[in-house]
Structure 1
C-alpha cells in the first residue's frame, strides 16, 4: 500500500483536465515526480476526502493558477508542503499564488524557499527569476539585481542566461544605487617596495651606505578590501549626477621570521575614505561624453604620515568608430598634512585608446603622466609612462585571459639623501608585466575568482630605490 501523508483537504477543480505550464515555471517533462514518487498520496484524515497523488496535486495547482483561482492553488501548495516541506515546486506554487493574491513580500519569501530547495537547474532558474520579478515590483532594485545574477548562474541554456544578463543590466541602469564590494589577497616578496639590496649606492658619488632592514624588501601577504557606494541624484537623456563614498583598507601580514628581522611590525597598512560628487553629460547627437568629479577624503597610514586630500577630475570619452574609442582624464589633488596646508599637489593625465578586433579581442594602449609638487626640497617629481593591454574575447578552456606590459620613468631634480645631493637628480625606470586569469566556471551569482600574476622591477641611480616584486593576487570579479 502506498504511504499516506496527512495534509489539508483538496477540493477537486471542475474541468481541470489539462496540464498548463505557468509562464514563469515551465515544468520539464517528468519534473513533477522529482521530489515524490508518483504513487505518493495527499489526504486529509477524513476517509471521505479524495486522495490525490503528488503529480495530480501539482497538475491541479497549475490549473488553478491558469483559471485565476490563486486561493485554491495556495491550498494545494500547503498540502504539498505538508507532505514535504522541502518541495521546491510547492514553495514555487505558493509564491505564484501569493503574488496573485497581492501579497508580494510573502510571495518573495516563498520564491526564495523554492530556490533554496531546488534540485534542478530549471527549478533554480525559475525560482530566482520569480524572486527577481517580485523584488523589482516592490522597487527593491538591488535585490532584484542579485536574484537576476542567480538566475543567470542557474540558467539551463545559453539563451536564458543571456536573457537574465540583459535583464540584470536593464535593472542596473534603472537602479539609482550602486554597490561594489572588492577583496583581494596577494603573497608578495616585496610588500613595502623596498630595495632589493642591502647597500645604498648613489651613481656619481664615492659613498656606500647600509640600508635599514625596513628599507629593504619585506616578504608578506597583502590583503585589501573596498566598499563603494553610489547614488544617482538625477538623470536625463544627456546627463547624470551622482554622489559616492568609498572605504578602502590594506593590511599586511608578516611572518614571525620577518617580524623578528625587522624588530617588530612596522605597519605597512593603510585606510582610505573618500566622498565624491560626479556629473556626466553628453551633447545631443554627439560621440563625446564628459565627466567632472570632485573628491575629498583622508588617507591614514599605520606608520604615520597621514594626510587629508581633495581633488578634481575631468574625464572625456570619444567614440571614434564602431570598434574604437578614446578615454582620457585629467586630475588634480591637493594634500594637507595633519590639518596644515603643506602645499603638496599632484597632477595627472591619462589617455587610453581602446580597439576591438574583428574577433572581439580588445587592445588598449595607454599614455600617462604625473607631476608631484611639494615644499620638501628635492622631493618634487615628474613621471611619464605607457602601457599596452590585450584581452581575449573567448576563454581558453575555463579561463579568461588578459595581459599587460608597462613602462614608467620618473625624475626628481635636486633629490638629496642624508645630506648628499644626487648628481642630475634621482632617476627611476620601472617595468612591469602581468597576466590576469578569470575562472568563469567556478562562480557564484555571477562572481568568479580571478588571479593576477605580476612581475615588476625598478632601476634607479640611487640603489635604495632598486626594487623587484613578484606577486600573485587572488580576488573576486563580476562576469557581467
Structure 2
C-alpha cells in the first residue's frame, strides 16, 4: 500500500509554526520555521516565529538574531511592532535591558494603535524598573538676547560720574547649546534604604550673533563655554505606610568656564516628602556645599540652602507647585558673600492647549543681598523676576521623545546699575514621554 503524504501550503505552514510556539513546542516550531526560510530567507513571518521559538527554548542569541532579521524584512507598522517586541523580550531575557528599552521605544513608535502603544510603554516601564542602570540624555537649543548675563546698559555711575561699560560686559545675543547626560546605577539595598550612584555631565556652548561680535570683537563664543561633571551617591527610604519619603545624597564635582577649571565642590543634601491631604504633598530640602574656586581662592565659599515645595493636583487634573527657598553664601569675597530669598509658582493645566500639546507655566521672584559693598559702590541688592511658558508637543512624539519649546523672560533690577539685566529667550529641546 502506498503511504499518503499530507502537503500544506506556505500560509498554513506559517500558521502551524505560530501554533507550535503557542503550544510550547519550540524545537518543532524552530525546525518548521527554518524549513520555510530555506525557500525564502527573508520571510518576515517565519523569521518572527523562529525568534519566538528560539526565545521560548532559551536560545537568546539566536532569538535576537532572528528578531532583528524579522525587523529588517518588516513592511507594515504591525510587523515592525511585533518584531520590536520580540527583540526586546529576547534582549531582556539575555540580560541586556538597555538595548531592550531601545527596542521597546521602537515598538511604541510603530505601534499600529494606541492600545499596542500603551503596552509597549508599560513593558518599557517594567524593564526600566528591573534594570539597575539608567541613562538620561538632555539636549536643548536656546536663542537668547543675553547669553553672558551682561548689563542692559552701556554706562555705569561711580561716585556720581558716568563711566562706559565695556562691550563684553554688556548683554550679548546669541545661541546656547546645552548637552547633558546622567548615568545612574541602582546599588544593593541597605536595610530599608534604596541606594543609587550616578554620574552626570552637562555642557553649554555658545555662538555669538553678528551684533554681539560687533559690540565685543575681542571675545570669542568659547570664552563663555561651561562644563560640569558631578558624581553623586544617594539613598531613599519610603515610610512603611507609603505616605512619606526620606532622601540623602552626597556629591562631588568640578566645573570649567572658558576652558579653564573654575570650581571644585562637594556637598550633602537631605530631603523629606510627605502627603499633605488627599491630593497634596509637602517636600522639604536642606543642603550644605563647599566650593573651592580655582581662579581665586578668595572666592571660595560655603553655601547653606533650604527649600520647601507644596504640590497639589486639582480634581480636574491640573497641577500646581509652589516653592520657597533661601540660601546663605559665606565667602571672603565681597563679590560672592550673599543671602538669597525666592519663590517660584508652577502650573500645568489639565487640558492640552491644542491637539496633544501640553502647557506648563512658571513665575518666580528672587532677591539677592550681598553682605558687603565693593569700594565706590552701594551695597548690591538684586531683585529678579522670571516668567516662562513651556509647550510639550506630545503629538510629535518620536521614539518616546517629544519636542519642547520654552519662552522665557527675566528682568533684574540692582542697586548697582551694572547688574541691571534683561533677557528674553526661546529654548527648544526634547523630553521623554515615558
3-state SS of paired residue (1:145): helix
Give deviations 1:384-406, integer Å, cap 9, x for gaps: 11111111334231311111111
Aligned residue pairs total 427
User: 1:79 and 1:265 mapped to 2: Cα distance?
Assistant: 66
- 1:275 CA displacement: 1.0
Give deviations 1:156-188, integer Å, cap 9, x for gaps: 333333333233222222221121111111111
3-state SS of paired residue (2:317): coil
- 1:316 CA displacement: 1.0
User: 1:430 and 1:312 mapped to 2: Cα distance?
Assistant: 27
Alignment of 1:133-282 (within 5 A): 133-201=89-157, 205-235=159-189, 238-255=192-209, 258-262=212-216, 263-265=218-220, 267-282=223-238
- 1:345 CA displacement: 1.4
Instruction: Find the counterpart in structure 2 of residue 39 from structure 1.
Output: none
User: 1:445 and 1:456 mapped to 2: Cα distance?
Assistant: 33
- 1:81 CA displacement: 4.7
Alignment of 1:300-319 (within 5 A): 300-302=256-258, 304=260, 306-319=262-275
- CA distance 1:62–1:304, change in 2 (3 Å): closer
Whether 1:361 and 2:315 are equivalent positions in the alignment is no
| The one of 309, 313, 317 aligned to 1:352 | 309
User: 2:286 and 2:5 mapped to 1: Cα distance?
Assistant: 70
Asked whether the equivalents of residues 372 and 380 of structure 1 are also in contact (C-alpha less than 8 Å), the reply is: yes
User: 1:331 and 1:143 mapped to 2: Cα distance?
Assistant: 36
Instruction: Find the counterpart in structure 2 of residue 452 from structure 1.
Output: 406
User: 2:58 and 2:71 mapped to 1: Cα distance?
Assistant: 21
Scaled by the length of structure 1, the TM-score of the pair is 0.82
- 1:454 CA displacement: 0.6
Give deviations 1:132-161, integer Å, cap 9, x for gaps: 221221222222223233333333333333
Whether 1:437 and 2:391 are equivalent positions in the alignment is yes
Which structure 1 residue ranges, 5 or more long, are not aligned?
1-11, 15-49
Give deviations 1:21-43, integer Å, cap 9, x for gaps: xxxxxxxxxxxxxxxxxxxxxxx
Task: Tell me the C-alpha RMSD between the 2 structures.
Answer: 2.5
User: 1:368 and 1:186 mapped to 2: Cα distance?
Assistant: 26
User: 1:392 and 1:277 mapped to 2: Cα distance?
Assistant: 35
Give deviations 1:409-456, integer Å, cap 9, x for gaps: 11113222xx3131xx11111111111111112222211111111111
Which structure 2 residue ranges, 5 or more long, are not aligned?
none
- CA distance 1:159–1:66, change in 2 (3 Å): closer
* Runs of 4+ with deviation above 6 angstroms: none
- 1:474 CA displacement: 1.0
Instruction: Find the counterpart in structure 2 of residue 407 from structure 1.
Output: 365
After TM superposition, the structure 1 stretch with the greater mean CA deviation from structure 2, 111-120 or 338-347, is: 338-347
- CA distance 1:305–1:56, change in 2 (3 Å): closer
Scaled by the length of structure 2, the TM-score of the pair is 0.90
Give deviations 1:274-316, integer Å, cap 9, x for gaps: 1111111234225221111110111111164612110111111
| The one of 352, 367, 381 aligned to 2:338 | 381
After TM superposition, the structure 1 stretch with the greater mean CA deviation from structure 2, 88-97 or 363-372, is: 88-97
After TM superposition, the structure 1 stretch with the greater mean CA deviation from structure 2, 387-396 or 108-117, is: 108-117
- CA distance 1:437–1:107, change in 2 (3 Å): same
User: 1:339 and 1:252 mapped to 2: Cα distance?
Assistant: 22
User: 1:90 and 1:166 mapped to 2: Cα distance?
Assistant: 27
User: 2:351 and 2:41 mapped to 1: Cα distance?
Assistant: 43
Alignment of 1:10-159 (within 5 A): 54-66=10-22, 68-78=24-34, 81=37, 86-159=42-115
